Chain A
Amino acid sequence: MSHRILVPVKRVIDYAVKIRVAGGKIDTNVKHSMNPFDEIAIEEAVRLKEAKKATEVVTVTVGSTKSQETLRTALAMGADRALHVEVPESAEVQPLEVAKILKAIVAKESPSIVLLGKQAIDDDAGQTGQMLAGLLDWPQATFASKVELNDSALTVTREIDGGLETVKTTLPAILTADLRLNQPRYATLPNIMKAKKKTIEKLSPGDLGVDVTPRIKVLEVSEPPKRQAGKTVGSVDELIDKLKNEAGVI
């Protein structure tokens, strides 16, 4: 059974960077890298290919020219080829628009599985995979911590609030990767060199017939309030009084 896996990836501010807000906007002149959950998704797809359960791993990103480095990292980790849906650097492409683009890509590439990271660490939206499933009317197994692929069915263990849930879906299907799904590999130097020869196909949203105008407007961005120093109280009564009258939480 030949299965193609499509893995969308996103270039985000590196997880280790301290986010600063200047003039109501986030300072983006800092280190960027692939969204960590997307790394986990690429790793899982490459492992499925190495286990001969899948035949091809195609990666795609919606982003500016700079996003090309993210695609190269995915190729260096083992993806076979890449698609770059290029947008201007100033463009803000939101989850619904990304899902629409991915729907068009799915029509073009016919993957058996679309494997996404569960959320991006910049907007923490956690929507794209689910919206895509809705648009395609495909089954979805989100927050996957274990994936088994057998011929034409997926058995997925999901991490949910109460514990673990196992679901089975037919193919084609949408999966989103959670933290404990795997430990992504480091791109070895020989693979980085091989990645140079792999193809990156360029497309525009227009080519795919998608309008990427944002529908949600960001009104304000601010840093969280600074943590206040704690207060020592002398008695339980004083504690209750403060919780009631000062903090207003009871």
Chain B
Amino acid sequence: MSVPRFASLVSRSRGAAAPALRNAARSFSTTNAIRSAGSIPSLHTFTEEEVMLREAVAKFATEVVGPKVREMDENEMMDRFVIDGLFQQGLMGIETPAELNGSGTSFTAAILTVEELAKVDPSVSVMCDVQNTLVNTVFTKYANAAQKEKYLPKLATDTIGCFCLSEAGSGSDAFALQTKAEKQGDYYILSGTKMWITNSYEAGIFLVFANVDPSKGYKGITCFIVEKDMGVEIAKKEKKLGIRASSTCALSFDDIKVPASNVLGQIGQGYKYAIEILNEGRIGIAAQMLGLAQGAFDLAVPYTFDRKQFGQAIGDFQGMQHQYAQIAVEIEAARLLTYNAARMKEQGKSFVKEAAMAKLYASQVAERAASKAVEWMGGVAFTRDLLAEKFYRDCKIGAIYEGTSNIQLQTIAKILKTQYAK
């Protein structure tokens, strides 16, 4: 097997692509060598608690979230009952240690949770995903002890958080952000606007990326922990094509005072934290898109065996068989990419390329699956009586947020260059 040798090539050349990989532990090629092939389990292998959690979340999603999905989408508002349910089930602090009121479970457990929720409602799934894979992780990795003790328990038990990086003038080019933070004594004065911020309507804690020294370019970007009552204003709640129940708002900070003790991590290192966190968050979005694809598939395919035309179930026509078999293959491929990226991260291996591949592919598969699901179910799926049209609208964001597909392709290409160019 050539994998161990290739892995060592990758780990050496990886040193060159520094900023993205600063925190990813080096891949030790020797640990890839396993004694006997028969002992390596498939990616469909989970710990007992991961299995139990998946089933508990699937039940919760079907029974508690399920009945409210259409209503939340029509109202463009997340139901408070659903949010409370997520907190009560311990799903908003999945990796947070138990001493900080979290559930102390694995990253894969978070990924499975996001996937199961997305099978029922991708809006609820992204709320849970941002909380766990972006907000909680930033605190766990970069915050000091006092900040962790103050904020992680709240995030695990009753407060929603959000990740405020993008602005009107800076999306993919995140480092071009304009929000400023000016030091004044024991405070920073934050001024600026943020755009497209998920969870922001319901959030109480905001991780805001602002520049303390624009003359240093992106090396002035700093991460601030901002609480709602420090003066965060919701400038606009967007009306969207999809994931309508998930709040997406423009925020404005009108010279708000943030204590200097709320600087998260090091001053001027915010850009690094943002990139590293988004690498991990990518796997979360891959899981959301995976769940969406599966949810659409599970909705449409049984219907094709009930619906009879020309004297037979439409699912038995060869044309249909070929289509749903193809989509099933792609969903499985997206699943393996996602689970593998998650396990690599858990094992401390470099996973930037794998995470980008998972998110890129899963969002593409989600679009194909959702589109086909509407076609397979036909006219009735075009109405809002069924959820097929919702999956179709929801899938589009997958190729856009947490790194557009073009950015994913670029990330992958850069890594490939370090492996292939002499």
| Chain A residues within CB distance 8 Å of chain B | 33, 69, 72-73, 76, 186-193, 195-196
Contacts and interface: CB of A to CB of B under 8 A. Distances in A.
Interface of B: 48-49, 51-53, 55-56, 59-60, 64, 88-91, 94, 98, 102-105, 109
Contacts of A76: 52, 56
Nearest to B48: A72
B52 A190 contact: no
A191 to B, nearest CB: 8
A187 B48 CA distance: 13
26 contacts: A33-B55, A69-B48, A69-B51, A72-B48, A72-B52, A76-B52, A186-B56, A186-B64, A187-B52, A187-B56, A188-B89, A189-B56, A189-B89, A189-B90, A189-B91, A189-B94, A189-B103, A190-B103, A192-B53, A192-B103, A192-B105, A193-B103, A193-B105, A195-B52, A196-B48, A196-B49
A188 B85 CA distance: 10
Contacts of A73: 52
A118 B243 CA distance: 43
A186 B89 contact: yes
A192 B60 contact: no
Nearest to A33: B55
Contacts, number: 49
A193 B49 contact: yes
Contacts of B48: 69, 72, 196
Contact of B98 (A72, A187, A193, A195): A193
Nearest to A77: B56
Nearest to B94: A189
A246 B97 CA distance: 70
Given A69-B48, A193-B105, 16 more contacts: A69-B51, A72-B48, A73-B52, A76-B56, A186-B56, A186-B89, A188-B56, A188-B88, A188-B89, A189-B91, A189-B94, A189-B105, A190-B98, A190-B104, A191-B90, A192-B105
A189 B104 CA distance: 9
10 pairs of A and B residues whose beta carbons are closest in the complex: A189-B90, A189-B103, A190-B90, A188-B90, A187-B56, A188-B89, A192-B52, A186-B60, A190-B103, A186-B56
Contacts of B103: 189-190, 192-193
A192 B98 contact: no
Which of B52, B60, B109: most chain A CB closer than 10 A?
B52
B82 to A, nearest CB: 13
A108 B319 CA distance: 63
Nearest to B88: A188
Contacts of A72: 48, 52
Contacts of A187: 52, 56
